[in-house]
Amino acid sequence: MDDEKTFDEIIEEVIQLLDDKKYKQTRDVLLEYNPADIADILTEVLDEASLDEAIIAFRMLPKDISVDVFSFLSIDDQVAIINGITDREINYIVSELDFDDKIDVLDELPANVVDKILEKTPKNERSQINTFLNYPDNCAGTLMTPEYISLQIGWTVDDALKHIKKAGMDTETIYTCYVKESGRKLFGIVSLRSLVVNDGDTPVSALVVTDFVSVNVYDDQEEVYDKFRKYGLLAIPVVDKEDRLVGIITMDDILDVGEEETTEDIERMSGIIDSGTSEYLDTSVWKQVKNRLPWLLGLMCSYIITGGIIAGFENALSACISLVTYMPMLMGTGGNSGSQSATLIIRGLAVGDVALKDWARVLWKEIRVSFIIGICLSAFNFVRIYCVEGHMSPEAMPIAITVCVAMILIVIGAKCIGSMLPLLAKRIGIDPALMASPMISSLTDLVSVLTYFMLAVAILKV
């Protein structure tokens, strides 16, 4: 895509050609790009023109390229395309897909289409597909492929390379090979690198690494991602409860998981119920309402309490109505301070920089940080309220003092709440990401109002 044409111009050209029914030319334009880019172009055609045109363009691609392009499409687009092509084309594409991609597609198709595809699948593969389709969502089992290279411990490097040469075409990766012992238990792994750099008569047993990292088939995908990152792996073996090798997960399948998990975290941190893998523009209005309303409604209830607190101070407010003008600032700053702390701790927990046992260190750091920040913000406000707005009149002094003391206490309180709540959530087994901005600011608003009005009553004697 390092062409002089921009991506938008290419889309425009392709859609124009399709509209003009110049199919041969469409095909030639598409074939200038690599499969990942063609998939991008088709996605845009599907969004901006019509599904029918996207399907026509897709069907015109050479068979082998169409499979690659298909594997780069989003799962929703894959299903849309499957519904628009002939059974024969479906069978070809599905049979040529890598095993893990195949499972992903089958998982989303209606049962009758799946049945039709499975009918034409060899029996042993069919039962394997059924096993894979039954793994719960987001576990290692749904990411793995059973197509890996097995080596025999008694082989030499030459034997191994000969085997890889034969079996290599149909497996997802050949860069890591696996050696099993009796009962399908995983004994060790051999990298293709070690095979290639060693002499042909070296025994495989001399190259096998038995100190390997593996995951269980029911492990959450986030754990799998963390292991890839920590150990810098290209592939990871997946074992069942009896330590038997059932499949492998390769690097390319895990990068998307990283993005998904990040999106989930970020959405939770903003009070949005997980949108799953669906894209913003593709989710319906009702689904969006369903993802957002519960949190807004729940958080609104906390404001009933905040409102109640204010109602309790109505006398004080009537006596000094200008107290209200500083309320948004104190509440807003409290919320922002708390969110900053919560974010740092949530992120620290997620990447492993902060652990539960560090809570006292975290609290002590937050208290010092918030004290300094509180003093700075108060100094700014004192100048503003007493000197600038109050013209240094003696009446302005008590209000200035109330606001400034409240500011310091609110910032300290907010940062303590913001930093401790994610740790508490982790302690009791809730996702810390839920304790971010909306939750924290609702809570700190409550604390801010209470602190401010209690101080006002004490200092202003209203």
Name which of residues 231 to 250 contact its own copies (CB under 8 A): 231-232, 234
Contact 385, 400 (CB under 8 A): yes
285 binds its own copies (CB under 8 A): yes
Contact 79, 105 (CB under 8 A): yes
- The token pair at 291 is 């993802």
Nearest residue (CB) to its own copies, 17 versus 323: 323
Return all residues near 173 (Cβ < 8 A) that are at least 6 apart.
148, 234, 235, 248, 250
Single out the residue of 111, 281, 360, 428 in contact with its own copies (rule: CB under 8 A). Answer: 281
Name which of residues 295 to 324 contact its own copies (CB under 8 A): 295-297, 299-300, 302-304, 306-308, 310-311, 314, 317-318, 321-322, 324
Name which of residues 7 to 46 contact its own copies (CB under 8 A): 8, 34, 36
69 binds its own copies (CB under 8 A): no
In Å, what is the CA distance from 173 to each residue of 24, 149, 192, 207? 35, 8, 10, 18
Q: Closest separation between CB of residue 241 and its own copies, Å?
A: 13
Residue span binding its own copies (CB under 8 A) among the ranges 53-61, 88-96, 182-190, 438-446:
438-446
85 binds its own copies (CB under 8 A): no
Single out the residue of 339, 406, 420, 435 in contact with its own copies (rule: CB under 8 A). Answer: 339
Per-residue binding string, its own copies, 367-406, x by CB under 8 A, is -xx--xx--xx--xx--x----------------------
6 binds its own copies (CB under 8 A): no
Residue identified by tokens 């499972």 is: 103
Task: Please provide the DSSP assignment of 328-386 as one string.
Answer: HHHHHHHHHHHHHHHHHHHHHHHHTSS-GGGHHHHHHHHHHHHHHHHHHHHHHHHIIII
Distance CA 105, CA 188 (A): 32
Nearest residue (CB) to its own copies, 120 versus 193: 193
- Give just the sign of the alpha carbon dihedral 43, 45, 49, 51: negative
Q: How far apart are the first and last CA of the chain?
A: 70
Name which of residues 254 to 273 contact its own copies (CB under 8 A): 255-256, 258-259, 262-263, 265-267, 269-272
Distance CA 68, CA 85 (A): 16
Single out the residue of 116, 126, 180, 347 in contact with its own copies (rule: CB under 8 A). Answer: 347
